[in-house]
Amino acid sequence: MTAVVNDLPNFERLPARCALAGAALLIVCLACAIHDFNDFYRAYLIAFLFWIGVTLGCLALLMLQHLTGGRWALIIRRILEAGTRALPVMAVAALPILGGMPSLYTWAQRGQADPIILAKRAYLNPTFFTGRMVFYFACWLALAHFLNKWSREEDREGNLPLWMRMESLSGGGLVLLGFTLNFAAVDWVMSLEPRWYSTIYGLLLMTGMSLAAMAFVIVMLIWLSAKEPLASVVTPSYLQDLGSILLMFVMLWAYLEFSQYLIIWGENLSGEIPWYLRRLQGGWGTVGLALLFLNFALPFFLLLFRHIKRRMKSLLFVALLVLVTRLGDMCWMVLPAFGDLRVSWRLVAMVVLLPLGMGGVWFGYFTWQLQRLPLLPANDPRMKGITEHAVEPG
């Protein structure tokens, strides 16, 4: 078989154009919010949660790949690594969250008199909140730094201990990621309603992030597979593997959502059930049903079929559907927390434009990082098996 050409990808001006377009959208949203920043911060939080979810989901999947050693992940490894290298962008994007704390979180507002919120003051206060956020990003950046550093060294040297080192780091790294993400979920989302709590909330958010990252990676892989070197190695069997993993995350997300709903609704406690009441009344109830269908029922049904997972167009449709509905899920989780929310045209526009703007900057940086390394690991010992089986029998 002819050796696979594994040159550096070249996206020409795409990274710069995406970043400039994204920055322009962010500036437009900022200009529209100059008289009232409440809607801006709420929509901004949704955009931030979506893109930090894709970024950290890539980090989780990258470490999972190093631990399992599956060949399915080698063809998406460079996509995952480039996704983790976008963490500095998200660290900068987190700064407006700190600036908007009083607009987003009731516990950060002055003159708070609620005894339940005051009892949590030792944990829910702006100084400790900021310190925890710095700690989270320090941990995530350190994990991404070493995994990418050793991957580059492996490309240059082909040293087996580097592969073993990445595997060892990934074991403890997944535990650290799970620990920090659980607390981040409490800080960023659950504390929007500080009187309410759920012990499964962090795991639910982590699963949603992994689901969004898996859908994004599939979209990127199909886009990149039109050219070498991926055109020679992306086969229907690998697409089927990735589609099956996407199905697994869809099922896990639905299971956790139902488990949380069943426990809280069954207990019928006055401190917990209002969270669902706010999200099941009026228009939010319709949004919830749409999410149930579009983020679970339809993808679950489609991904059961082998031929759908093995065809690029059908798998691309499912992945894009999941990716869009993940943004809808963020809206459903965040916006009802603010009570009788006035859904103005400005808020609707920002909920659409801010994720696109932040996504433009993120995607521009992501593609710039993606073209810095070959799209396939050069010296990973498992790559031999991939190139040998790149052509399937008819």
pLDDT tens track for 115-151: 888 888 999 999 999 999 999 999 999 999 999 998 8
pLDDT, residue 232, reads 78
pLDDT, residue 8, reads 66
Question: Which of 88-92, 157-161, 217-221 has the least mean pLDDT?
Answer: 157-161
- CB within 8 Å of 261: residues ≥ 6 apart: 276
CA proximity to 374, closest of 241, 233, 243: 233
Query: Whole-model pTM?
Result: 0.93
Q: Which amino acid is at 256?
A: L
Query: Average pLDDT for residues 30-50, to the nearest whole number?
Result: 89
Q: What percent of the chain has pLDDT over 70?
A: 92
**When comparing pLDDT for 381 and 36, which is higher?**
36
- The gap between the terminal CA atoms of the chain, to the nearest Å, is 17
pLDDT, residue 112, reads 80
Given a cut of 50, is residue 389 above it in pLDDT? no
Given a cut of 90, is residue 301 above it in pLDDT? yes
Chain-centre distance for alpha carbon 322: 12
CA pair distance 64, 62, nearest whole angstrom: 5
pLDDT, residue 160, reads 67
Given a cut of 60, is residue 393 above it in pLDDT? no
Q: Which amino acid is at 388?
A: E
CA pair distance 60, 177, nearest whole angstrom: 7
pLDDT interval class at 2 (50, 70, 90): very low
> Count of CB atoms within 10 A of residue 316's CB?
17
Total H helices, total E strands in the chain = 19, 0
Contact indicator for 316, 239 with CB cutoff of 8 Å: no
**When comparing pLDDT for 197 and 382, which is higher?**
197
Which tokens in the block code for residue 301? 């049904």
Query: Average pLDDT for residues 340-348, to the nearest whole number?
Result: 71
> Count of CB atoms within 10 A of residue 37's CB?
16
**When comparing pLDDT for 69 and 23, which is higher?**
23
pLDDT, residue 166, reads 84
Query: Average pLDDT for residues 316-329, to the nearest whole number?
Result: 95
Contact indicator for 112, 118 with CB cutoff of 8 Å: yes
